[in-house]
Structure 1
Amino acid sequence: MAVDALDAKILRLLLEQPRTSVREYARLLGVARGTLQARLDRLERDGVITGTGPRLSAAALGHPVLAFVHVEVTQGHLDDVGDALAEVPEIIEAFSITGGGDLMTRVVARDAGHLEDVVQRLIQLPGVVRTRTEIALRQRVPYRMLPLVDAVGAEAGRQR
């Protein structure tokens, strides 16, 4: 799906001002409301916009410890283990990966003891061979999309 310069401007506004109305976005961009709505609908339909909900803080929810747990899985059990991981509320993301392990999870916990309990739960899942845990000390670059949107928009503008 090609994102053009106007799409990039729309995405930038959505990221910078998520609570603004469609009418106000159209006014700020100098386009018709119908044009803006059609663009938003297309961006959602094409999977560029995947959600509009708030981003929540695990730390503010009482889970300040963040760890990355690599999970090695018995061959042929990746889907089963992936389904089981989805049942663990402290796992906020999980990915199939290449390299040293089969899955990488992002796990939050109340403290080190709680993290150990979560890891022990993972080790007991059928199909899990071993885990390796790395605790995050400090976030250096927060989740962000704006620099990527700007780069995509600039590239689209140069290709005109």
Structure 2
Amino acid sequence: MAEGPDPGSDPGPPVPPPRPLDSIDQDILRMLQADGRASIRSVAERVHVSRANAYARINRLVEDGVIRGFGARVDHERAGHGTSAYITLKIVQNTWRTVREQLRALPGASHIALVGGDFDVLLLVHSPDNRALRELVLTRLQAIPEVLSTRTLLVFEEEDLEPQA
């Protein structure tokens, strides 16, 4: 299993303890998940607070790390990455942080998770086609010294579950 700290790894900046979220914060989160481009004014109107209050709450959610960023939801097939796969990896014990950094650099890597069970890491990738996926797995992933084994689960169809506004 790949748990535990890597010797000599940098733990990064300390994360502040989470502040409790009230119902207005939860409503703001739901709105921004459904439409990350919503204006402060529309957020304020929908949750029944002033614009200054909405602005302050959104900033606090960002500063506290509750909101990690804003982005676009991409249709990978229409963007030229029509092949998707979940890849499971078994890795050398205590190498999670090292492996994670190498996985982040892979083209098409979309989600990385350290998990418990029969394997250690679950990786979601999007690639242009099966040939590119094969190249990624056989050339890039299996060349990582800490990766003991991989299994590739080809995705036939997928759907992101998006929050309702």
TM-score, normalization: structure 2? 0.77
Look up the match of 1:136.
Answer: 155
Which structure 2 residues correspond to residues 57-72 of structure 1 after superposition, within 5 A?
Answer: 57-72=75-90
- Could you tell me how far 1:79 is from its partner in structure 2? 2.5
Query: Equivalent of 2:45, from 23, 27, 50?
Result: 27
Look up the match of 1:117.
Answer: 135
CA distance in 2, matches of 1:28, 1:85: 40
Give SS of 1:119's match.
helix
- Could you tell me how far 1:106 is from its partner in structure 2? 0.4
Identity of aligned residues (%): 29
**Amino acid across the alignment from 2:147:** V
Query: Equivalent of 1:44, from 44, 51, 62?
Result: 62
- More helix as a share of residues: 1
**Amino acid across the alignment from 2:72:** P
**Amino acid across the alignment from 1:124:** A
Look up the match of 1:105.
Answer: 123
Look up the match of 1:3.
Answer: 21
Aligned residues: CA RMSD: 2.0
- Could you tell me how far 1:75 is from its partner in structure 2? 2.6
TM-score, normalization: structure 1? 0.80
Q: Is the 1:81–1:126 Cα contact (8 Å) retained in structure 2?
A: no
Between the two proteins, the alignment pairs up a number of residues equal to 146
